[in-house]
Structure 1
Amino acid sequence: MLGRARTPFRLRTPLGVPLRQIYRPISINRVLLQEQKKQENVNATDGVETPKRKPLSRIPIGAIPEANSQKIGSSGNVEFSTWKAVVLFALVGTAVTFFFKREKKRLELQKEADQNRGIGKPLVGGPFDLIDTNGEQFTQEKLKDKFSLIYFGFTHCPDICPDELDKLGLMLDELKSKYNIQIQPIFITCDPARDTPAVIEEYLKDFHPDIIGLTGTYDKIKECCKNFRVYFSTPRDVKAGQDYLVDHSIFFYLMDKEGEFIDVLGRQYDASGAVEKIKGHIDAYVPRDQRNKQKNSWYGFLFK
Protein backbone atom coordinates (compact mmCIF):
# COMPACT_ATOMS: atom_id res chain seq x y z
CA MET A 1 0.00 0.00 0.00
CA LEU A 2 1.56 3.31 -1.07
CA GLY A 3 1.38 6.22 1.28
CA ARG A 4 2.08 9.87 0.87
CA ALA A 5 5.64 11.03 0.80
CA ARG A 6 6.55 12.89 4.01
CA THR A 7 8.26 16.24 3.75
CA PRO A 8 11.63 16.43 5.53
CA PHE A 9 10.48 19.32 7.70
CA ARG A 10 7.10 20.55 8.46
CA LEU A 11 6.42 23.39 10.73
CA ARG A 12 3.62 22.66 13.02
CA THR A 13 1.53 25.65 13.80
CA PRO A 14 0.21 25.78 17.33
CA LEU A 15 -3.49 26.02 17.49
CA GLY A 16 -4.82 29.54 17.74
CA VAL A 17 -1.42 31.27 17.02
CA PRO A 18 -1.18 33.30 13.79
CA LEU A 19 1.59 32.21 11.48
CA ARG A 20 3.13 35.68 11.25
CA GLN A 21 3.86 35.77 14.99
CA ILE A 22 5.93 32.62 14.69
CA TYR A 23 8.06 33.77 11.78
CA ARG A 24 8.67 37.26 13.18
CA PRO A 25 11.55 36.37 15.61
CA ILE A 26 13.32 34.43 12.91
CA SER A 27 13.19 37.32 10.48
CA ILE A 28 14.44 39.77 13.15
CA ASN A 29 17.43 37.55 14.00
CA ARG A 30 18.36 37.31 10.34
CA VAL A 31 18.27 41.06 10.02
CA LEU A 32 20.55 41.47 13.07
CA LEU A 33 23.03 38.95 11.70
CA GLN A 34 23.14 40.70 8.36
CA GLU A 35 23.74 44.07 10.01
CA GLN A 36 26.56 42.61 12.11
CA LYS A 37 28.27 41.14 9.06
CA LYS A 38 28.00 44.48 7.21
CA GLN A 39 29.61 46.26 10.15
CA GLU A 40 32.45 43.71 10.28
CA ASN A 41 33.05 44.18 6.55
CA VAL A 42 33.15 47.97 6.95
CA ASN A 43 35.64 47.72 9.83
CA ALA A 44 37.83 45.33 7.86
CA THR A 45 37.95 47.69 4.89
CA ASP A 46 38.75 50.68 7.13
CA GLY A 47 41.62 48.81 8.85
CA VAL A 48 39.93 48.99 12.25
CA GLU A 49 40.10 45.85 14.35
CA THR A 50 36.95 44.69 15.89
CA PRO A 51 37.29 44.95 19.65
CA LYS A 52 37.36 41.62 21.42
CA ARG A 53 34.54 40.81 23.65
CA LYS A 54 35.31 40.77 27.26
CA PRO A 55 34.96 37.43 28.94
CA LEU A 56 31.89 36.86 30.97
CA SER A 57 34.04 36.41 34.03
CA ARG A 58 35.03 39.59 35.85
CA ILE A 59 38.62 38.35 36.08
CA PRO A 60 40.76 39.46 33.15
CA ILE A 61 42.35 36.78 31.04
CA GLY A 62 45.80 35.88 32.37
CA ALA A 63 45.18 37.49 35.74
CA ILE A 64 45.42 35.56 39.00
CA PRO A 65 42.15 35.26 40.82
CA GLU A 66 42.11 37.02 44.16
CA ALA A 67 41.32 33.83 46.02
CA ASN A 68 44.31 32.09 44.40
CA SER A 69 46.60 35.00 45.22
CA GLN A 70 45.49 34.81 48.82
CA LYS A 71 46.23 31.09 48.82
CA ILE A 72 49.69 31.71 47.40
CA GLY A 73 50.40 34.38 49.99
CA SER A 74 49.15 32.23 52.79
CA SER A 75 51.23 29.32 51.48
CA GLY A 76 54.33 31.49 51.60
CA ASN A 77 53.53 32.50 55.14
CA VAL A 78 53.01 28.87 56.09
CA GLU A 79 56.37 27.91 54.58
CA PHE A 80 58.13 30.76 56.43
CA SER A 81 56.40 29.88 59.69
CA THR A 82 57.37 26.23 59.25
CA TRP A 83 60.99 27.21 58.70
CA LYS A 84 61.01 29.30 61.87
CA ALA A 85 59.39 26.48 63.82
CA VAL A 86 62.06 24.02 62.65
CA VAL A 87 64.88 26.37 63.67
CA LEU A 88 63.25 27.08 67.03
CA PHE A 89 62.72 23.36 67.65
CA ALA A 90 66.37 22.63 66.81
CA LEU A 91 67.59 25.36 69.16
CA VAL A 92 65.35 24.22 72.00
CA GLY A 93 66.35 20.60 71.46
CA THR A 94 70.04 21.49 71.53
CA ALA A 95 69.63 23.53 74.71
CA VAL A 96 67.66 20.77 76.45
CA THR A 97 70.21 18.13 75.42
CA PHE A 98 73.09 20.27 76.70
CA PHE A 99 71.26 20.91 79.99
CA PHE A 100 70.52 17.24 80.61
CA LYS A 101 74.06 16.17 79.76
CA ARG A 102 75.48 18.76 82.12
CA GLU A 103 73.05 17.79 84.88
CA LYS A 104 73.80 14.11 84.34
CA LYS A 105 77.53 14.74 84.71
CA ARG A 106 76.93 16.90 87.78
CA LEU A 107 74.80 14.22 89.44
CA GLU A 108 77.39 11.56 88.66
CA LEU A 109 80.14 13.62 90.29
CA GLN A 110 77.91 14.38 93.24
CA LYS A 111 77.17 10.67 93.66
CA GLU A 112 80.90 9.93 93.42
CA ALA A 113 81.68 12.46 96.13
CA ASP A 114 78.88 11.08 98.33
CA GLN A 115 80.19 7.55 97.86
CA ASN A 116 83.66 8.71 98.87
CA ARG A 117 82.12 10.11 102.04
CA GLY A 118 79.75 7.14 102.27
CA ILE A 119 78.64 5.15 105.28
CA GLY A 120 80.51 1.90 105.81
CA LYS A 121 83.78 3.28 104.52
CA PRO A 122 86.63 4.73 106.58
CA LEU A 123 86.23 8.49 106.65
CA VAL A 124 89.03 10.44 104.99
CA GLY A 125 90.04 13.57 106.82
CA GLY A 126 89.28 14.76 110.29
CA PRO A 127 90.59 17.04 112.99
CA PHE A 128 94.27 18.01 113.08
CA ASP A 129 96.34 20.57 114.91
CA LEU A 130 99.54 21.66 113.17
CA ILE A 131 101.62 24.82 112.64
CA ASP A 132 102.50 26.68 109.45
CA THR A 133 105.86 28.13 108.38
CA ASN A 134 105.20 31.23 110.48
CA GLY A 135 104.73 29.11 113.58
CA GLU A 136 100.98 29.85 113.73
CA GLN A 137 98.36 27.23 114.53
CA PHE A 138 96.60 25.66 111.58
CA THR A 139 93.64 23.35 112.21
CA GLN A 140 90.88 21.75 110.14
CA GLU A 141 88.77 24.87 110.74
CA LYS A 142 90.91 26.72 108.21
CA LEU A 143 89.70 24.31 105.51
CA LYS A 144 86.22 25.80 105.68
CA ASP A 145 84.77 28.37 103.27
CA LYS A 146 87.22 27.37 100.55
CA PHE A 147 88.17 24.32 98.49
CA SER A 148 91.52 22.86 99.49
CA LEU A 149 94.01 20.49 97.92
CA ILE A 150 96.27 18.66 100.41
CA TYR A 151 99.50 16.83 99.59
CA PHE A 152 101.62 14.79 102.02
CA GLY A 153 105.39 14.62 101.42
CA PHE A 154 108.75 15.60 102.88
CA THR A 155 111.54 17.95 101.92
CA HIS A 156 114.22 15.24 101.54
CA CYS A 157 112.17 13.41 98.91
CA PRO A 158 114.51 12.99 95.92
CA ASP A 159 112.14 13.13 92.97
CA ILE A 160 108.47 12.24 93.52
CA CYS A 161 107.58 15.13 95.80
CA PRO A 162 109.24 17.78 93.59
CA ASP A 163 107.48 16.40 90.54
CA GLU A 164 104.10 16.41 92.29
CA LEU A 165 104.58 19.88 93.70
CA ASP A 166 105.51 21.16 90.24
CA LYS A 167 102.31 19.60 88.94
CA LEU A 168 100.41 21.24 91.78
CA GLY A 169 101.71 24.62 90.66
CA LEU A 170 100.53 23.98 87.10
CA MET A 171 97.12 22.95 88.39
CA LEU A 172 96.78 26.13 90.45
CA ASP A 173 97.73 28.36 87.51
CA GLU A 174 95.40 26.60 85.09
CA LEU A 175 92.47 26.68 87.49
CA LYS A 176 92.98 30.42 87.91
CA SER A 177 93.58 31.32 84.27
CA LYS A 178 91.04 29.00 82.68
CA TYR A 179 88.18 28.96 85.20
CA ASN A 180 89.03 31.76 87.65
CA ILE A 181 89.03 29.21 90.48
CA GLN A 182 91.27 29.62 93.49
CA ILE A 183 91.80 26.75 95.88
CA GLN A 184 93.94 26.46 98.99
CA PRO A 185 97.04 24.29 98.38
CA ILE A 186 98.55 22.64 101.46
CA PHE A 187 101.75 20.67 101.91
CA ILE A 188 101.92 18.52 105.08
CA THR A 189 105.20 16.92 105.94
CA CYS A 190 105.53 13.26 106.89
CA ASP A 191 108.98 13.89 108.38
CA PRO A 192 108.49 16.21 111.36
CA ALA A 193 111.95 15.53 112.81
CA ARG A 194 113.78 17.18 109.89
CA ASP A 195 111.04 19.40 108.42
CA THR A 196 110.88 22.36 110.74
CA PRO A 197 108.86 25.46 109.77
CA ALA A 198 112.03 27.19 108.52
CA VAL A 199 113.11 24.17 106.44
CA ILE A 200 109.67 23.86 104.83
CA GLU A 201 109.53 27.59 104.08
CA GLU A 202 112.88 27.45 102.29
CA TYR A 203 111.91 24.28 100.43
CA LEU A 204 108.60 25.67 99.12
CA LYS A 205 110.30 28.73 97.59
CA ASP A 206 111.09 26.55 94.57
CA PHE A 207 107.40 25.91 93.96
CA HIS A 208 104.16 27.83 93.73
CA PRO A 209 104.05 30.77 96.18
CA ASP A 210 100.48 29.97 97.32
CA ILE A 211 101.39 26.58 98.81
CA ILE A 212 100.98 26.51 102.60
CA GLY A 213 103.51 24.32 104.46
CA LEU A 214 102.50 22.55 107.68
CA THR A 215 104.43 20.57 110.27
CA GLY A 216 104.04 19.56 113.92
CA THR A 217 105.06 17.11 116.55
CA TYR A 218 105.58 13.47 115.69
CA ASP A 219 102.29 12.38 117.30
CA LYS A 220 100.22 15.13 115.68
CA ILE A 221 101.66 14.41 112.24
CA LYS A 222 101.07 10.71 112.69
CA GLU A 223 97.46 11.33 113.77
CA CYS A 224 96.85 13.61 110.80
CA CYS A 225 98.26 11.01 108.39
CA LYS A 226 96.07 8.37 110.00
CA ASN A 227 92.94 10.51 109.57
CA PHE A 228 93.70 10.99 105.88
CA ARG A 229 94.60 7.32 105.39
CA VAL A 230 98.16 8.25 104.42
CA TYR A 231 100.82 5.57 104.70
CA PHE A 232 103.24 6.73 107.39
CA SER A 233 106.51 4.92 108.13
CA THR A 234 108.69 7.59 109.70
CA PRO A 235 110.61 6.29 112.74
CA ARG A 236 109.86 7.95 116.05
CA ASP A 237 113.23 8.28 117.69
CA VAL A 238 115.61 9.80 115.18
CA LYS A 239 119.02 11.15 116.09
CA ALA A 240 120.39 14.31 114.59
CA GLY A 241 122.09 13.63 111.25
CA GLN A 242 120.65 10.13 110.99
CA ASP A 243 119.64 9.09 107.49
CA TYR A 244 116.41 7.15 106.99
CA LEU A 245 113.76 6.53 104.39
CA VAL A 246 110.23 7.90 104.48
CA ASP A 247 107.46 6.16 102.59
CA HIS A 248 104.16 7.91 102.04
CA SER A 249 101.10 7.88 99.82
CA ILE A 250 101.26 9.91 96.62
CA PHE A 251 97.85 11.56 96.37
CA PHE A 252 96.20 14.94 96.30
CA TYR A 253 93.20 15.15 98.64
CA LEU A 254 90.42 17.46 97.45
CA MET A 255 88.39 18.94 100.32
CA ASP A 256 85.14 20.90 100.07
CA LYS A 257 84.14 24.19 101.69
CA GLU A 258 83.00 22.39 104.83
CA GLY A 259 86.35 20.69 105.29
CA GLU A 260 84.98 17.33 104.10
CA PHE A 261 86.73 14.98 101.73
CA ILE A 262 85.52 14.95 98.10
CA ASP A 263 87.98 12.92 96.05
CA VAL A 264 91.55 11.75 95.75
CA LEU A 265 93.69 12.45 92.69
CA GLY A 266 96.51 10.05 91.99
CA ARG A 267 99.41 10.05 89.55
CA GLN A 268 97.15 8.83 86.76
CA TYR A 269 96.11 12.47 86.27
CA ASP A 270 98.32 14.98 84.57
CA ALA A 271 97.88 18.66 85.44
CA SER A 272 95.15 19.34 82.88
CA GLY A 273 93.27 16.15 83.70
CA ALA A 274 93.37 16.98 87.40
CA VAL A 275 92.11 20.51 86.68
CA GLU A 276 89.08 19.19 84.80
CA LYS A 277 88.35 16.71 87.59
CA ILE A 278 88.55 19.43 90.22
CA LYS A 279 86.43 21.80 88.13
CA GLY A 280 83.74 19.15 87.77
CA HIS A 281 83.64 18.49 91.51
CA ILE A 282 83.46 22.20 92.30
CA ASP A 283 80.55 22.64 89.89
CA ALA A 284 78.76 19.65 91.38
CA TYR A 285 79.34 20.66 95.00
CA VAL A 286 76.24 20.87 97.19
CA PRO A 287 76.43 21.80 100.90
CA ARG A 288 75.72 19.06 103.43
CA ASP A 289 72.33 20.43 104.55
CA GLN A 290 71.11 20.66 100.97
CA ARG A 291 72.40 17.15 100.22
CA ASN A 292 70.38 15.78 103.11
CA LYS A 293 67.25 17.55 101.88
CA GLN A 294 67.77 16.12 98.41
CA LYS A 295 68.12 12.59 99.73
CA ASN A 296 64.94 12.91 101.81
CA SER A 297 62.89 14.44 99.00
CA TRP A 298 60.60 12.57 96.58
CA TYR A 299 63.36 12.58 93.95
CA GLY A 300 65.96 11.30 96.41
CA PHE A 301 66.39 8.11 94.36
CA LEU A 302 68.50 10.15 91.93
CA PHE A 303 71.19 10.54 94.59
CA LYS A 304 71.36 6.89 95.65
Structure 2
Amino acid sequence: MNRRAMHPYRTFKAFARAAALPALLALAACGQSGPSPQDAPLAGGAIGGDFTLVDKANKPVRYADFAGKYRVIYFGYTFCPDVCPLDVQNLMRGYHLFAKAHPDLAPQVQPLFVSIDPARDTPARVGEFAGNFGKELIGLTGTEQQAAAAAKAFAVFYQKREGSSPDAYLMDHSRAAYLMDREGRPIALLPVEKDGKSVAAELEKWIR
Protein backbone atom coordinates (compact mmCIF):
# COMPACT_ATOMS: atom_id res chain seq x y z
CA MET A 1 0.00 0.00 0.00
CA ASN A 2 1.15 3.48 -0.82
CA ARG A 3 1.83 5.04 2.59
CA ARG A 4 1.82 8.56 1.13
CA ALA A 5 -1.82 8.05 0.17
CA MET A 6 -2.57 7.50 3.84
CA HIS A 7 -1.57 11.13 4.67
CA PRO A 8 -3.46 13.47 2.34
CA TYR A 9 -3.31 16.27 4.97
CA ARG A 10 0.50 16.23 5.01
CA THR A 11 0.53 16.29 1.23
CA PHE A 12 -1.86 19.26 1.23
CA LYS A 13 0.31 21.16 3.74
CA ALA A 14 3.41 20.68 1.60
CA PHE A 15 1.52 21.89 -1.48
CA ALA A 16 0.15 24.89 0.42
CA ARG A 17 3.63 25.90 1.60
CA ALA A 18 4.95 25.70 -1.95
CA ALA A 19 2.00 27.65 -3.33
CA ALA A 20 2.31 30.32 -0.65
CA LEU A 21 5.99 30.98 -1.27
CA PRO A 22 5.52 33.27 -4.29
CA ALA A 23 2.86 35.21 -2.41
CA LEU A 24 5.15 35.63 0.58
CA LEU A 25 7.93 36.84 -1.69
CA ALA A 26 5.53 39.30 -3.28
CA LEU A 27 4.53 40.60 0.13
CA ALA A 28 8.15 40.99 1.08
CA ALA A 29 8.78 42.97 -2.08
CA CYS A 30 5.80 45.20 -1.34
CA GLY A 31 7.22 45.85 2.10
CA GLN A 32 10.46 47.27 0.72
CA SER A 33 10.80 51.01 1.39
CA GLY A 34 12.30 51.99 -1.95
CA PRO A 35 15.87 52.48 -3.13
CA SER A 36 18.67 52.42 -0.61
CA PRO A 37 20.37 55.72 0.35
CA GLN A 38 23.60 54.18 -0.90
CA ASP A 39 22.04 54.13 -4.37
CA ALA A 40 21.18 57.85 -4.30
CA PRO A 41 22.49 59.78 -7.33
CA LEU A 42 24.57 62.18 -5.22
CA ALA A 43 25.59 59.73 -2.49
CA GLY A 44 29.17 60.36 -1.43
CA GLY A 45 29.36 63.65 -3.33
CA ALA A 46 31.38 66.56 -1.94
CA ILE A 47 28.33 68.79 -1.73
CA GLY A 48 27.13 70.60 1.37
CA GLY A 49 28.63 72.06 4.49
CA ASP A 50 27.82 74.44 7.28
CA PHE A 51 27.13 78.09 6.58
CA THR A 52 25.71 81.07 8.43
CA LEU A 53 23.17 83.41 6.82
CA VAL A 54 20.22 85.45 8.10
CA ASP A 55 16.46 85.01 7.79
CA LYS A 56 13.72 87.58 7.18
CA ALA A 57 14.05 88.84 10.75
CA ASN A 58 17.81 89.30 10.27
CA LYS A 59 18.32 86.42 12.70
CA PRO A 60 21.43 84.24 12.14
CA VAL A 61 20.61 80.84 10.66
CA ARG A 62 23.11 78.02 10.27
CA TYR A 63 22.82 74.99 8.04
CA ALA A 64 23.54 72.91 11.13
CA ASP A 65 20.39 74.32 12.79
CA PHE A 66 18.38 71.84 10.72
CA ALA A 67 20.35 68.74 11.71
CA GLY A 68 18.02 65.76 11.97
CA LYS A 69 15.81 67.02 9.13
CA TYR A 70 15.97 66.50 5.42
CA ARG A 71 16.88 69.77 3.72
CA VAL A 72 15.88 71.02 0.29
CA ILE A 73 18.10 73.89 -0.86
CA TYR A 74 17.68 76.14 -3.88
CA PHE A 75 20.12 78.94 -4.73
CA GLY A 76 18.70 81.89 -6.67
CA TYR A 77 17.71 85.54 -6.37
CA THR A 78 14.46 87.42 -5.96
CA PHE A 79 15.03 89.79 -8.92
CA CYS A 80 15.25 86.83 -11.30
CA PRO A 81 12.73 87.52 -14.07
CA ASP A 82 11.70 83.96 -14.88
CA VAL A 83 13.70 80.85 -13.97
CA CYS A 84 13.94 81.25 -10.18
CA PRO A 85 10.24 81.97 -9.57
CA LEU A 86 9.25 79.04 -11.80
CA ASP A 87 11.70 76.65 -10.15
CA VAL A 88 10.68 77.64 -6.63
CA GLN A 89 7.02 77.36 -7.59
CA ASN A 90 7.57 73.81 -8.85
CA LEU A 91 9.67 73.01 -5.80
CA MET A 92 7.02 74.08 -3.33
CA ARG A 93 4.15 72.57 -5.31
CA GLY A 94 6.04 69.30 -5.13
CA TYR A 95 6.62 69.74 -1.42
CA HIS A 96 2.93 70.46 -0.81
CA LEU A 97 1.87 67.42 -2.85
CA PHE A 98 4.25 65.32 -0.80
CA ALA A 99 2.94 66.88 2.42
CA LYS A 100 -0.63 66.05 1.45
CA ALA A 101 0.28 62.41 0.84
CA HIS A 102 2.61 62.15 3.84
CA PRO A 103 1.59 64.62 6.55
CA ASP A 104 3.73 62.72 9.05
CA LEU A 105 6.94 63.08 7.03
CA ALA A 106 6.55 66.58 5.58
CA PRO A 107 7.50 68.41 8.83
CA GLN A 108 10.80 66.53 8.71
CA VAL A 109 11.71 68.24 5.43
CA GLN A 110 12.93 71.85 5.51
CA PRO A 111 12.86 73.83 2.23
CA LEU A 112 15.42 76.67 2.01
CA PHE A 113 15.89 79.47 -0.54
CA VAL A 114 19.41 80.97 -0.48
CA SER A 115 20.09 84.25 -2.27
CA ILE A 116 23.19 84.66 -4.41
CA ASP A 117 22.42 88.38 -4.79
CA PRO A 118 22.74 89.75 -1.24
CA ALA A 119 23.45 93.27 -2.53
CA ARG A 120 19.77 93.61 -3.44
CA ASP A 121 18.16 90.75 -1.54
CA THR A 122 17.64 92.17 1.91
CA PRO A 123 16.30 89.93 4.68
CA ALA A 124 12.83 91.45 4.32
CA ARG A 125 12.78 91.01 0.55
CA VAL A 126 13.96 87.42 0.69
CA GLY A 127 11.39 86.69 3.39
CA GLU A 128 8.60 88.18 1.29
CA PHE A 129 9.71 86.25 -1.78
CA ALA A 130 9.83 82.94 0.10
CA GLY A 131 6.47 83.62 1.74
CA ASN A 132 4.81 83.84 -1.68
CA PHE A 133 5.41 80.11 -2.16
CA GLY A 134 4.49 78.76 1.26
CA LYS A 135 5.06 79.35 4.93
CA GLU A 136 7.39 76.34 5.09
CA LEU A 137 10.00 77.91 2.81
CA ILE A 138 12.71 79.86 4.66
CA GLY A 139 14.44 82.62 2.70
CA LEU A 140 18.09 83.30 3.58
CA THR A 141 20.56 86.03 2.65
CA GLY A 142 23.64 87.62 4.18
CA THR A 143 26.83 89.42 3.30
CA GLU A 144 28.66 88.90 0.02
CA GLN A 145 31.18 86.73 1.86
CA GLN A 146 28.50 84.63 3.55
CA ALA A 147 26.65 84.05 0.28
CA ALA A 148 29.88 83.11 -1.46
CA ALA A 149 30.77 80.62 1.28
CA ALA A 150 27.36 78.96 1.13
CA ALA A 151 27.44 78.73 -2.66
CA LYS A 152 30.96 77.28 -2.61
CA ALA A 153 29.94 74.61 -0.11
CA PHE A 154 27.18 73.48 -2.48
CA ALA A 155 29.22 73.78 -5.68
CA VAL A 156 26.95 76.55 -6.96
CA PHE A 157 28.28 78.79 -9.70
CA TYR A 158 27.08 82.39 -9.99
CA GLN A 159 28.25 85.67 -11.44
CA LYS A 160 26.86 89.13 -12.01
CA ARG A 161 25.94 90.18 -15.53
CA GLU A 162 26.20 93.95 -15.85
CA GLY A 163 23.01 95.80 -16.81
CA SER A 164 21.97 99.26 -17.95
CA SER A 165 22.38 100.70 -14.45
CA PRO A 166 24.09 99.65 -11.18
CA ASP A 167 20.84 98.12 -9.87
CA ALA A 168 19.55 96.72 -13.16
CA TYR A 169 21.52 93.54 -13.64
CA LEU A 170 20.97 89.80 -13.88
CA MET A 171 22.74 86.98 -12.08
CA ASP A 172 23.90 83.93 -13.98
CA HIS A 173 23.85 80.91 -11.68
CA SER A 174 23.59 77.14 -11.45
CA ARG A 175 20.04 75.82 -11.66
CA ALA A 176 19.84 73.18 -8.97
CA ALA A 177 17.66 72.17 -6.04
CA TYR A 178 19.46 69.80 -3.70
CA LEU A 179 17.82 67.21 -1.49
CA MET A 180 20.03 66.56 1.54
CA ASP A 181 19.62 63.85 4.16
CA ARG A 182 19.18 64.17 7.91
CA GLU A 183 22.96 64.41 8.40
CA GLY A 184 23.27 67.10 5.74
CA ARG A 185 24.69 64.82 3.05
CA PRO A 186 23.56 65.02 -0.61
CA ILE A 187 20.91 62.62 -1.90
CA ALA A 188 19.65 63.87 -5.26
CA LEU A 189 18.78 66.84 -7.43
CA LEU A 190 15.08 67.64 -7.47
CA PRO A 191 13.62 68.10 -10.99
CA VAL A 192 12.36 71.66 -10.46
CA GLU A 193 12.77 72.33 -14.19
CA LYS A 194 9.86 69.93 -14.80
CA ASP A 195 6.85 70.29 -12.51
CA GLY A 196 5.54 69.79 -9.00
CA LYS A 197 4.52 66.18 -9.58
CA SER A 198 8.05 65.27 -10.61
CA VAL A 199 9.45 66.93 -7.49
CA ALA A 200 6.93 65.11 -5.28
CA ALA A 201 7.83 61.78 -6.91
CA GLU A 202 11.52 62.33 -6.14
CA LEU A 203 10.75 63.22 -2.53
CA GLU A 204 8.63 60.06 -2.28
CA LYS A 205 11.60 58.03 -3.42
CA TRP A 206 14.00 59.15 -0.71
CA ILE A 207 12.21 60.56 2.31
CA ARG A 208 11.78 57.96 5.06
TM range (shorter): 0.7 to 0.9
Give the counterpart of 2:170 among 235, 245, 249. 245
Change (3 A) 1:90 1:105: farther
Q: Given residue 128 of structure 1, which amino acid in structure 2 is its aligned partner? A: F
In the alignment, structure 2 segments of 5+ residues that lack a partner are: none
Letter aligned with residue 141 of structure 1 = A
CA positional deviation for 1:141: 1.1
What's the counterpart of residue 214 of structure 1? 140
Measure the CA separation in 2 of the matches of 1:222 and 1:90: 62
DSSP 3-state at the match of 1:280: helix
Decide whether the 8 Å contact of 2:131 with 2:137 is kept in 1: no
Q: Deviation string for 1:230-285 (max 9, x for gaps)? A: 111137x99x95211101112111111112222222346532232222222223xx
Match of 1:231 among 148, 151, 157: 157
From 85, 94, 98, give the equivalent of 1:175: 98
Gaps in structure 1 of 5+ consecutive residues: 1-73, 284-304
Residue 199 of structure 2 corresponds to residue 274 of structure 1: yes
- Structure 2 residue corresponding to 1:149, chosen from 72, 90, 97: 72
Structure in which a larger fraction of residues adopt helix: 1
Farther off after superposition, 162-171 or 271-280: 271-280
Sort the Cα spacing of 1:125 and 1:133 in 2 relative to 1 into closer, same or farther, 3 A: same
Corresponding position: 1:159 with 2:85: no
**C-alpha distance in 2, partners of 1:195/1:188?**
10
Q: Tell me the TM-score normalised to structure 1 length.
A: 0.58
Residue 99 (str. 1) matches residue 28 (str. 2): yes
- Where 1:246 maps in the other structure, the secondary structure is strand
Task: Say which of 102, 111, 123 aligns to 2:38.
Answer: 111
1:232 aligned partner, one-letter code: Y
- For residues 205 and 87 of structure 2, what CA distance do their matches in structure 1 show? 21
Change (3 A) 1:92 1:224: same
1 or 2, which has the higher strand percentage? 2
Q: Residue 204 of structure 1 aligns to which amino acid in structure 2? A: A
Is the 1:250–1:266 Cα contact (8 Å) retained in structure 2? no
Structure 2 residue matching 1:145: 3-state secondary structure: coil
User: How many angstroms apart in 1 are the aligned matches of 2:24 and 2:138?
Assistant: 42
Distance (Å, rounded) in 2 between the aligned partners of 1:163 and 1:152: 13
Q: Distance in 1 between matches of 2:193 and 2:90?
A: 12
Give the structure 2 partner of residue 200 of structure 1: 126
Query: What is the RMSD of the two structures over their aligned residues, measured on CA atoms?
Result: 3.0
> Percent identity of the aligned residues?
29
Larger RCO (CA under 8 A, 6+ residues apart): 2
Aligned to 1:261: 186
Shift of residue 178, structure 1, vs aligned partner: 0.9
Q: 1:268 to 1:111 in 2, by over 3 A?
A: farther
